[in-house]
Structure 1
Amino acid sequence: MHRHELTDREWELLAPLIPRAVTGRPRVSDRRVINGMVYKIRTGISWRDLPEPYGPWKTVYTRFRRYALDGVFTRALQQIQAEADAVGDINWLVLIDSTIVRAHQHAAATGRKGGSTDDEPDDHALGRSRGGLTTKVHLACDGKGRPLAILLTPGQRHDSICARPLLERIRVPRTGPGRPRCRPEGVIADKAYSSRGFRAYLRKRGIAHTIPEKIDQQRHRRNRGRSGGRPPGFDRETYRQRNMIERCFNRLKGFRGIATRYEKTATSYEAAVTLASFLLWARSV
């Protein structure tokens, strides 16, 4: 095994979920191609610059694009989450936050005049923010700092708007009968998620939450007197665990192809983030 390649354990977890053709010419080894994908995401190089040991770059890119559209990496991530949940290894105190990723000039040339497709938004999750052309990665992770759900938006999108759709993306299948687990035991988030609507949504689902109240919200509530209601509960000791999601972002951005967006389409970039998330899980179980 060389640097940036899958370990035997990681390949053992991923191999059963890789589609295999039953007809046609003999194809390049699946493990060799997946290693090429991991190398590309780890280093952030261009697809055309993949080293020869990983096979023809077009083969690696074509399979990556096919797996991205088919949701192969998403199913792999859900499978490893399901196995961890079956043995009680998931801490369901969920943390949510987002991070800004600068888009490289190669990702900016998307040709967005053709409109959207079923699997690709019109804007390709690219937008203008203070950092220029950026993508925002919204992430929900468990209490051990491992990704549970991912959502991509343009960089200028506010966190509070995406909180509900992000939580609704959490779907950890059961290894036996039963519906996927979707409801956390609690949610920890920073002040960006402090809104009456989001708090009401969490209470409706029976999810405890630890979210600090913004100063202007405190002032507005106090100015209203008794009609302003009681302040929301806030446990400082629980909130200290929020550093776990910052650690998760730090590990994800250890992949240079994640720290800077080089992929033109949101589908491909999300597949890259999902594959990196799978590797974080595989190294923790």
Structure 2
Amino acid sequence: MVDHGVVIRRHELTDLEWELLAPLIPRAVRGRPRAEDRQIINGMVYKIRTGISWRDLPERYGSWQTVYTRFRRYAIDGVFTRALQQIQTRADAAGDIDWLVQIDSTIVRAHQHAAATGRKGGKHRQDEPDDHALGRSRGGLTTKLHLACDGKGRPLALMLTAGQRHDSVMAQALLQRICVPRTGSGRPRSTPDHVVADKAYSSRGFRAYLRRRGIAATIPEKDDQKKHRRNRGSRGGRPPGFARETYRRRNTVERCFNRLKGFRGIATRYDKTATSYEAAVSLASFLLWARSF
């Protein structure tokens, strides 16, 4: 039961958002009474929205150590990843997901606090990459956020890599992360009706992968690919299909990135580990879905 008398401050969960998220938060079955869950989650949202240090959280959220410890535990356990899947399930059951999927990536600059990972040597979790998804690119020390969103600009799947990793290398793995569970029986939905992407994804291998899965695609050819095909004459085959009107919708994924980067803790990476940063992006993505209903 939600207490509708709660004063909702800026950068905190609305009653609807809390109603959607509350059933997915793990409950303590024993031990001393702990801080109220909504208060703690609000502290996490405030931190991600503003990008402040954990130590600088306002006192109304309780001990910053408690908020951080709970966030780190949820990140490792995949709580926000599951929450994102559950809200996608709700949308899919209502027929609210547009399966014209757009994929793209964006570079996120890493703050000096994120750089102090001690990533040379040391012990990491099995699911934590050795490089913590930090690498060198034109922007310096960066992380690349790969994203697949639905036709309404809401995140379906995300993946982190070092900033210098090329988009096309991660395209198949990104699509394979789409997994929307069903409310009843049946396997989760994982296949888009159509994929829209820019020239960075115009590789023969990725196009062949989409054909094998029966997924239509709108991806422009690179100029050198066109030239090579024409030079081969009849052996070069026909050009891939390209729906210009469909491609005009590709800016939907750019708008999705803009909304995610409205969270300052997403626009700049302050988290030392990829696990924590991905959890922050998943929580922000959950909120985008909740605010679309």
Fold shared, TM-score > 0.5 on shorter chain: yes
Distance 2:282 2:138 in 1: 26
Distance 1:86 1:276 in 2: 22
Identity %: 82
Q: Secondary structure at the match of 1:91?
A: coil
Q: Count residues in correspondence.
A: 285
Tell me if 1:222 matches 2:230. Answer: yes
Distance 2:125 2:285 in 1: 25
From 48, 52, 55, the counterpart of 2:59? 52
Deviations 1:38-81 (A, max 9, x none): 00000000000000000000000000000001111011110000
Amino acid at match of 1:263: D
Shift of 1:117: 2.6
Q: Is the 8 A contact 1:115 1:122 kept in 2?
A: no
Tell me if 1:172 matches 2:186. Answer: no
Distance 1:187 1:224 in 2: 28
From 247, 252, 255, the counterpart of 2:255? 247
| Structure 1 counterpart of 2:199 | 191
Deviations 1:60-104 (A, max 9, x none): 000000000111101111000001001100000000000000000
| Structure 2 counterpart of 1:68 | 75
Shift of 1:115: 4.8
Shift of 1:114: 1.2
Q: Secondary structure at the match of 1:78?
A: helix
Amino acid at match of 1:25: R
| Structure 2 counterpart of 1:260 | 268
Tell me if 1:12 matches 2:19. Answer: yes
From 203, 209, 225, the counterpart of 1:201? 209
| Structure 1 counterpart of 2:111 | 104
- The Cα RMSD (Å) is 0.6
Tell me if 1:78 matches 2:85. Answer: yes
Q: Is the 8 A contact 1:124 1:265 kept in 2?
A: yes
Distance 2:123 2:138 in 1: 26
Shift of 1:220: 0.5
Q: Is the 8 A contact 1:188 1:209 kept in 2?
A: yes
| TM-score under structure 2 length normalisation | 0.97
Distance 1:284 1:213 in 2: 34
Q: Secondary structure at the match of 1:276?
A: helix
The runs of 5 or more residues in structure 2 that have no matched partner are 1-7
Shift of 1:116: 4.1
Amino acid at match of 1:109: A
Q: Secondary structure at the match of 1:174?
A: coil
Distance 1:199 1:106 in 2: 39
Distance 2:29 2:246 in 1: 52
Distance 1:158 1:144 in 2: 26
Distance 1:189 1:32 in 2: 40
Shift of 1:22: 1.4
Amino acid at match of 1:77: L
From 236, 242, 245, the counterpart of 2:244? 236
| TM-score under structure 1 length normalisation | 0.99
Q: Secondary structure at the match of 1:96?
A: strand
| Structure 2 counterpart of 1:27 | 34
